[in-house]
């Protein structure tokens, strides 16, 4: 059996290479991943559904000869459906819903040779930027168990940072791949809108803001996985521009001399922690040293307009998801089936008029057009990934006073009061997730790169946003940064 020391020092492509050359059998990799889950998951609560027997049986059969043949993999317990299993979306009302078939991205991941050993924790319906659902409990950060791994792909990021698997599935509707990557010292890419499939069970996510991909330790794993999964599926409402060449090949090409805009001003909040400012400044200096032109410039984001449009759209989508769930659930959805904040968000979504939703979508699309003009001058935008280091567990959840107000409004709903409470909660979330949602609104690709750790030993991610359809530029720069400032050997002292 492969030693854990050998297992954790190899990325996914390297493990697959060992399988391809006959130096190791997939069963050995699966058993190593299972042993690691059993060892560290009681501390982390990253894996919430164990699929050991299924993974063992799959590894014993002839696996597809893809680029990741035999490599263990984890699915986020949100959106990604695996035939014959339940995806809870962090919500108790989904418990017992068994998928009749794989979702398309899961089918492509499995066709690439990945073996799914479990599912990872996520906040209810993927709404919050931390992973602390009532259904499964909080996931903890391997770098400090008192702190969050971020969200909503927090379980996946914690699992990869703890070396359970070399990479894991994630989804990103407002930073949900990049925020956990930043909090856990990993590489995380949000692809261009429409790059990866969302079907066949979902038409689109949050009016096109949701994209699925993964958190990884190495740049090349992310690129190779995107090569394996990218491309539209049947009936896709959006189609990203076709890549010129495989993304894995892009990681071996020089990026050239790029013009990079740089700002540490909060895009959606009011302030940025000194550690996050220092991380972005350090990255800007590094990029300049690599020959790029780095210029301070802030993109044209109206923080009040975009954050309120975001709240309108997500609350309407939450109400719609609960309505759609009611069509298939054994019982009518009730407030007691959901966390207070989720139910309140849905109540607000029911209160908004159709024209208010249409205006919100208009405002988001116009933000995209304004930022596209900004990118006529610049190749990349460099910022912190989040505005604070990883918060402590519980810091972004509703406070006791908030819960009391939510309970009252649940019993006696008042549209104006609901919106006021949600504005307060949204402002709190955007103080942390102050940068990442912009790329979801515009549809542009973006990534968090692990270039900095603060004095407390917590990872601080650096965010790069690229032009629409140009993941190639991101992968080239990421590979350049990885070579200049290697992060792959850094491990939390669990």
Catalytic site residues? Answer: 76, 152, 176
Burial of 75 (0-12, 13-18, 19+ CB in 10 A): buried
Pairing of strands 259-262, 380-384: parallel
CA dihedral 59, 108, 464, 459 (to 10 degrees): -20
What is the length of the chain?
494
Of the candidates 260, 276, 259, 225, the one whose C-alpha atom is nearest the C-alpha of residue 451 is 276
Which residue is associated with the tokens 């402590």? Answer: 392
The torsion angle over the Cα atoms of residues 390, 393, 396 and 399, rounded to 10 degrees, is: -150
DSSP letter string, 158-189: HHHHTTSSSEEEEEESSSTTHHHHHHHT-EEE
Distance (Å, whole) CA 335 – CA 134: 14
384 forms beta bridges with 462
Question: Which strand ranges, in their side-by-side order, compose the sheet holding 459-466?
Answer: 47-50, 115-120, 72-76, 167-172, 211-216, 187-190, 446-453, 459-466, 380-384, 259-262, 293-296
Beta carbons of 411 and 458 less than 8 angstroms apart = no
Tokens of 151: 């969200």
Within 10 Å of residue 436's Cβ, how many Cβ atoms?
A: 31
Give residues with Cβ within 8 angstroms of 68, minimum separation 6: 12, 13, 16, 112, 113, 114, 224, 225, 228
At 199 the three-state DSSP class reads coil
Looking only at the bridges linking them, the beta strands covering 211-216 and 187-190 are: antiparallel
CA pair distance 164, 150, nearest whole angstrom: 18
């Amino acid at each position: 059996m492969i030693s854990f020391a050998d297992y954790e020092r190899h990325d996914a492509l390297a493990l697959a290479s060992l399988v391809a050359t006959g130096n190791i059998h997939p069963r050995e990799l699966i058993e190593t991943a299972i042993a690691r889950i059993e060892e560290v998951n009681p501390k982390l609560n990253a894996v919430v559904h164990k699929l050991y027997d299924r993974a063992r049986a799959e590894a014993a059969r002839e696996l597809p000869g893809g680029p990741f043949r035999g490599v263990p993999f984890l699915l986020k317990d949100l959106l990604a459906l695996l035939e014959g299993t339940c995806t809870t979306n962090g919500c108790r009302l989904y418990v017992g819903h068994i998928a009749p078939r794989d979702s398309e991205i899961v089918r492509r991941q499995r066709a690439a040779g990945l073996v799914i050993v479990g599912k990872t924790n996520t906040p209810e319906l993927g709404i919050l930027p931390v992973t602390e659902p009532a259904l499964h409990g909080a996931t903890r950060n391997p770098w400090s168990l008192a702190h969050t791994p971020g969200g909503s792909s927090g379980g996946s990021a914690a699992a990869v940072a703890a070396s359970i698997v070399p990479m894991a599935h994630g989804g990103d509707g407002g930073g949900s791949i990049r925020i956990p990557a930043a909090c856990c010292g990993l590489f995380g890419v949000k692809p261009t809108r429409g790059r990866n499939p969302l079907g066949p069970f979902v038409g689109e996510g949050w009016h096109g803001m949701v994209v699925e991909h993964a958190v990884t330790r190495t740049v090349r794993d992310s690129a190779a996985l995107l090569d394996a999964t990218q491309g539209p599926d049947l009936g896709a409402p959006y189609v990203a521009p076709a890549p010129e060449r495989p993304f894995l090949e892009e990681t071996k090409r020089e990026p050239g001399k790029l013009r990079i805009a740089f700002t540490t001003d909060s895009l959606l909040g009011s302030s940025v922690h000194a550690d996050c400012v220092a991380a972005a400044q350090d990255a800007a200096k590094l990029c300049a040293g690599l020959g790029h032109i780095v210029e301070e410039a802030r993109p044209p984001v109206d923080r009040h307009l975009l954050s309120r449009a975001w709240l309108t759209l997500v609350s309407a989508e939450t109400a719609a998801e609960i309505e759609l769930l009611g069509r298939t659930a054994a019982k009518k959805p009730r407030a007691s089936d959901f966390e207070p904040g989720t139910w309140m968000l849905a109540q607000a979504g029911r209160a908004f008029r159709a024209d208010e939703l249409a205006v919100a979508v208009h405002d988001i699309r116009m933000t995209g057009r304004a930022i596209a003009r900004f990118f006529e001058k610049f190749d990349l935008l460099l910022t912190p990934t989040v505005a604070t280091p990883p918060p402590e567990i519980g810091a972004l959840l509703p406070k006791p006073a908030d819960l009391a107000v939510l309970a009252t409004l649940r019993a006696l709903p008042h549209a104006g009061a609901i919106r006021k409470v949600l504005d307060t909660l949204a402002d709190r979330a955007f103080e942390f997730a102050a940068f990442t949602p912009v790329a979801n609104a515009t549809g542009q690709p973006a990534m968090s790169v692990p270039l900095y750790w603060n004095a407390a030993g917590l990872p601080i991610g650096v965010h790069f946003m690229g032009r629409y359809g140009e993941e190639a530029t991101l992968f080239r720069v990421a590979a350049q940064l990885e070579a200049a400032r290697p992060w792959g050997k850094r491990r939390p002292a669990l």
